[in-house]
Chains A and B, each alone.
Chain A
Amino acid sequence: MSNITELYDAILTGNHKKAVEITDTALKGGQDPKELVDKYMIPAMDEVGRRFEANEYFVPELLIAARAMKGALNLVRPLLLAQKVAPAGRVVIGTVKGDLHDIGKNLVAAMLEGGGFEIIDLGVDVSAEKFVAAIKEKGANVVCLSALLTTTMPGMKDIIKAIETAGARKQVKVMVGGAPVTKQYADQIGADGFSDNASGAVTEARRLLGVG
């Protein structure tokens, strides 16, 4: 019988099996799902993010932790929905048209999910129209654009324009990232937020939405 406080360590060390076990036992024992998320799971992923930024954790550790988090979250999510607990934010994320790079985008998605956000992942090579449609359909309040090539990065500007044209610009905060993207470039194309790493993206999304 595991102690509920061990959930934090299970996620931090990426122990998927244990994270799911503890969560399952706790929920069956009547533990409040929201408290489980807020007190143990999100803090664990925040610590993962801190270690990643400090270069203590690398991509593999981050992804393993995110997988453990996801396993636990899958058990909690239906209960949160039933209780009508709103997510920290609803995020549409994708790699821009012409670009196939997946991993950086996946890391950001995993960290945001771990940070309590709902994620709608559109994948790679995503057109402006697809971004706009998803933002409207899902009622997203954050959109994350990723590009890893200097040649595809200008596509971010076109997507922001398309969101404006579609009348959805006020609805969403636009965040951009990827190897060639800089804070300066983000400002220049009129994005709201920028991060050069997956963990920073969570902090930035929280700042933009005024949560956490």
Chain B
Amino acid sequence: MSTESNERPITIRLDPLDKVVHVRAGAPLQDALFALGVEFPCGGRGTCKGCRIKVLKGDLPPTDHDVQKFTEADIAAGWRLACQAHVKEDLVLHVSQWDSPILSDNTAFAFDPQDGLGVAVDLGTTTLVAQLLDLTTGQVLAVRTALNPQARHGGDIMSRVEFGVSAEGQAKLKDLIRREIGRMIRELVTASHVAPAALHRCVIVGNTVMHHLFCGHSVEPLSHYPFETNHLGLQVLTAKDVGWDEFTLRIEFLPCFGGFVGSDIVAGVLATRIHESEQIEVLVDLGTNGEMIMGNRHGLFCAATAAGPAFEGARIYMGMRAATGAISRVHVRDGRLVCDVIGEGTPRGICGSGLVDAVAGALDLGLVLPNGRLLDGAKKMHLLDPVVLSQTDIRQLQLAKGAISAGVQLLAQRCGTTTDGVARLHLAGAFGNYINVSSARRIGLLPMAEEKIVASGNAALHGAKLALFSRDTERLCAPILKLTEHMTLSSDPKFQDVYVDEMSFPASGV
């Protein structure tokens, strides 16, 4: 790892979207592009060409992966794999997958050209992503990201609900999010020089709390058991309803499964198409709620597993989001743990993927025992000064990974099989895209053979984009909702036993 990192930010312009992002020298291009909704179908392993980009201006030396994947002529023309690239100087890039919303991983989704333009929005608890699409060609015309302005009234989902339970709180959260998304859409329109009247549709996906807050439904029922609400269905609003007066577009917030499993997961099913699969597949979102859905075309079961925020670096002593200064990767080399830092400067903390790697490596080196104890009763483990991992951090990880792993096992039981009978595990969400799959398996987070695990990128946004091309969103989602049974895992008498069993780490690598 180089310590002499250049502190000058590098400017990356995405053509023809008029979008500029700034990153530190040496930063992986994947980090910058993922935030904009660029998908990495193989999980950034350089095995597909789904994330390919064309360098229009600037120098991005080809990597070994590029040499393998592209012809000499392609490389000379500027084609690279975004997932393998580290930026060293200002660049102007063209993102190939935005030429059409269908990923180049050969998923055969026949999209139905529509009139006008549409916006797909992934409304996350923390971040927002909006893409403007030409519905005739499928091209992405512009993209905007922002932080969810509601976050100042509670970072995690339950504190957001708590704030939104009062009438004033709810009105405030509703106004904040409607205004922010409206602002993003205005920017998208301005950036791509189109008339506001050309915008016909907007499809939004998000968890059930975000769904209720945006659509103006009370979140009070989501604040306590049984977490049931009467407004789970597809919500259709006009631009006037939400105060976007210069537009005439139809706004559709996709339906939700239940109190803790929202339309982002419905969209994830649309993207991964597990509801059409003959084999049993599962989609897992490694976030605070740990939502998952498993099954096949004959039936699906979904659940939330309350994994907690450890994967997002919260409640970890030196935890942080995957940003500059975070230890994001840890490898074992010559019997020692070696850390990679985002931005290659002085480390400031550790993010979820680094945490999983560090514990996996420490298990292999015997520095952490299968019961989660640090060797010789140590209170902390040094990673890369000044960053340490505390015993309590490992306990937090045990709780989070135990919840996910127990959830997958219980859903498999409901599907009449075991985890061995699950043909494919799709990882959704940002963390799913960053996590090292073999480390995740080493700590027992994903009880599945490595070749069955695929990162599905921002499946929620992808699903929202697919919905934009559907003439009838209600009919598009209906079969998924009809097939799915929403389960409350914690009321399953077996849950505690399986959860507690899964809190321990596997004794040796599998």
Q: Which residues of A contact B (CB under 8 A)?
A: 55-56, 58-61, 63, 97-103, 106, 124-125, 149-152
Contact = CB atoms under 8 A, between A and B. Distances in A.
Interface string B53-69: 00000000000000000
Contacts of A63: 500
Given A56-B377, A100-B491, A151 B161 contact: yes
Interface string B387-398: 000011001001
Given A58-B373, A63-B500, 5 more contacts: A59-B503, A60-B503, A103-B496, A150-B162, A151-B224
Interface in B463-510: 488, 490-491, 495-496, 499-501, 503-504
A58 B372 contact: yes
A103 B224 contact: no
Given A149-B158, A151-B158, A125 B503 contact: no
A60 B488 CA distance: 22
A58 B395 contact: yes
A100 B225 contact: yes
A43 B442 CA distance: 37
A152 B158 CA distance: 10
A99 B225 contact: yes
Given A60-B371, A100-B490, A151 B165 contact: yes
Given A55-B395, A60-B371, A103-B499, A151 B490 contact: no
B417 interface: no
B225 to A, nearest CB: 5
Chain B contact surface mostly: helix
A55 B372 CA distance: 10
A58 B398 contact: yes
A149 B495 CA distance: 19
B377 to A, nearest CB: 7
B488 A55 contact: no
Contacts, number: 61
B159 interface: yes
B371 A151 contact: no
Nearest to B390: A55
29 contacts: A55-B392, A58-B372, A58-B373, A58-B395, A59-B398, A59-B399, A59-B500, A59-B503, A60-B503, A60-B504, A98-B224, A99-B225, A100-B488, A100-B490, A100-B491, A101-B490, A102-B495, A102-B496, A103-B499, A106-B496, A124-B225, A124-B490, A124-B491, A149-B223, A149-B224, A150-B162, A151-B161, A151-B162, A152-B224
Contacts of B223: 98, 149, 151-152
- Residue of A55, A101, A149 contacting most chain B CB atoms (<10 Å): A55
A55 B391 CA distance: 7
A98 B165 CA distance: 14
Contacts of A102: 490, 495-496
Interface string B365-383: 0000001110001010000
Contacts of A59: 398-399, 500, 503
B317 to A, nearest CB: 12
Contacts of B158: 149-151
Contacts of A150: 158-159, 162
A59 B225 CA distance: 25
Nearest to A54: B377
Contacts of B377: 56
Interface in B349-377: 371-373, 377
Contacts of B373: 56, 58
5 nearest CB pairs, A to B = A98-B224, A151-B223, A55-B391, A98-B225, A100-B490
Nearest to B223: A151
B167 to A, nearest CB: 16
Contacts of B488: 100
A63 B498 CA distance: 13
Contacts of B495: 102
A126 to B, nearest CB: 11
A103 B488 CA distance: 15
B77 to A, nearest CB: 55
Contact of B225 (A56, A58, A125): A125
A61 B488 CA distance: 26
Contacts of B503: 58-60
A89 B508 CA distance: 44
Nearest to B398: A58
A97 B223 CA distance: 11
A149 B499 CA distance: 19
Nearest to A101: B490
A124 B379 CA distance: 34
B371 A97 contact: no
A56 B162 CA distance: 35
Contacts of A103: 496, 499-500
B375 to A, nearest CB: 12
Contacts of A55: 379, 391-392, 395
A160 B146 CA distance: 44
A152 B222 CA distance: 11
Nearest to A125: B225
Nearest to A155: B224
Contacts of B499: 103
A103 B499 CA distance: 10
A152 B495 CA distance: 22
B224 A97 contact: yes
A198 to B, nearest CB: 13
A61 B158 CA distance: 30
Nearest to A62: B500
A73 to B, nearest CB: 20
Nearest to A64: B500
Contacts of A98: 223-225
Contacts of B392: 55
B369 to A, nearest CB: 11
Contacts of B490: 100-102, 124
B502 to A, nearest CB: 9
